[in-house]
Structure 1
Amino acid sequence: MTSRSHISAILFACLLLRIHRTDGQDDPTPWPDRFHAVLYMNSTTTGRLQITDLWYDWPAGRNVNLIQKQLGPRLHDVEWDNGTSYYYTLGDDGPTCETMYFGVGVPRPDFMAGEAKYLGRVHTDGFLCHLWEKLEFIWYYEDVITGRPVRWDFYDGITSHVMAFEVGPTLDRSEWQAPAYCFNGDSEGRRHRSHSKGEMLVYELRRRLSRLSYNS
């Protein structure tokens, strides 16, 4: 009886821990150190659409967004942990390149930790999700069953829907190594390009969350 009581107590404790987690009292599940995600992105204010291949590589200090805007050129957005980001196009879409310095690095895997407010469970994109809001800037949806991100929204109406999510793969060097014309000052290959709302959101997100969630 003592042994059975002990086992029952352990099982009950495990159940309580599980209930605590699924009730969403904790922070969102940290991102894997390396993953690839396909994002369908929509601006609810402008109606513009894009598909983004997100390649997150925390050990390498690198985050890459391969951005395909609707009927537009393919843009490489390569972000480094030293705060430098390169925005460039290749081949028939280029060459263009712009370098930006944000002053903060790649978001940590636990970038939602700290000051994230839990808003409960909601259904979105066909999934039952935990929902958090942070700094009145980002709303983050996580699948209750798997802990994977399903969606995140920014305050200005840009929504990102996670269409695919795979842990572990890395991006080929040819896709993240900025071309020579990003560094040689060639005016023909280094045309000025105005900042998009998405790029300014990246800057604002980094700035707002840097105190808690980013490498310096």
Structure 2
Amino acid sequence: MTPPSLLLFLLLVSISSNPSTKATGAGAAAESPPTPTPWPLQFHSLLYVNGSGELSVVDLWYDWPNSRNFNIIQHQLGTLLYDLEWDNGTSFYYTLDDSRHCQTYHFDVGILRPDWLDGANYLGQQRVDGFLCNVWEKVQFIWYYEDVETKRAVQWVFYTGGILKWSW
């Protein structure tokens, strides 16, 4: 079994076009840009992924105090995959179906810190699925969209070819 990409940082799916951002208005240049909201120390979210027509839903549990991240990944018409990630870079991918596969991987990085967006480059605002979002770019390939009103994540775009949408 090929390892799925590390969720939150490496979950990559295809997109067809690059998003564009726009300034918030004439006075936007004079104002200080907003800063991204740090993540809660613990949260649960549903992620909807559409990659080149391959659909999946991911139940994500983020648990910074306990140094772990747990994902239940349901690929469309596919096997239910469990992904347990630890802050030391160790990840376990396994199934609980009749095949009972389990693989361990070690990545150079662990789970993301709650303030992982510190130092991100503010790009402006864009509407995404009806939400007005502030948009930041981090590490030259991730664009992060945060709802202006609620400060919650709306989507990520990975410029290695992916998009990730959130539901809270």
Which interval holds the TM-score relative to the shorter structure? Answer: 0.7 to 0.9
For 1:135 and 1:58, how far apart are their aligned partners in 2? 21
For 1:32 and 1:155, how far apart are their aligned partners in 2? 25
The aligned counterpart of 1:100 is 105
How many pairs align?
140
Identical counterparts, % of pairs: 55
For 1:126 and 1:63, how far apart are their aligned partners in 2? 29
Deviations 1:123-154 (A, max 9, x none): 00110000011122111000001101111111
Bigger radius of gyration among the two: 1
Give 3-state SS (helix, strand or coil) of 2:53's partner. coil
Q: Which residue, out of 42, 55, 58, partners 2:50?
A: 42
Q: Which has the higher strand share?
A: 2
Give 1:96's aligned amino acid: H
The answer to whether 1:69 aligns with 2:68 is: no
Q: Which residue, out of 109, 120, 124, partners 1:120?
A: 124
Q: Matches of residues 170-189 of structure 1 in structure 2 within 5 Å?
A: none
Structure 2 runs not aligned, ≥5 long: 1-26
The question of whether the paired residues in 2 share the 8 Å contact of 1:112 and 1:134 is answered with yes
For 1:140 and 1:42, how far apart are their aligned partners in 2? 17
Shift of 1:42: 1.6
For 2:35 and 2:142, how far apart are their aligned partners in 1? 14
Deviations 1:62-119 (A, max 9, x none): 0011101110001011100111000000033x300110011322110011112x1111
Give 1:113's aligned amino acid: D
The aligned counterpart of 2:146 is 142
The answer to whether 1:31 aligns with 2:39 is: yes
Q: Which has the higher helix share?
A: 1
Structure 1 runs not aligned, ≥5 long: 1-18, 166-216
TM-score between the two structures when normalised by the length of structure 2: 0.78
Cα distance, 1:24–1:88 mapped onto 2, change above 3 Å: farther
For 2:35 and 2:161, how far apart are their aligned partners in 1? 23
The aligned counterpart of 2:60 is 54
For 2:151 and 2:54, how far apart are their aligned partners in 1? 29
Give 2:40's aligned amino acid: P
For 1:90 and 1:158, how far apart are their aligned partners in 2? 27
The aligned counterpart of 2:116 is 111
The answer to whether 1:91 aligns with 2:97 is: yes
For 1:105 and 1:29, how far apart are their aligned partners in 2? 20
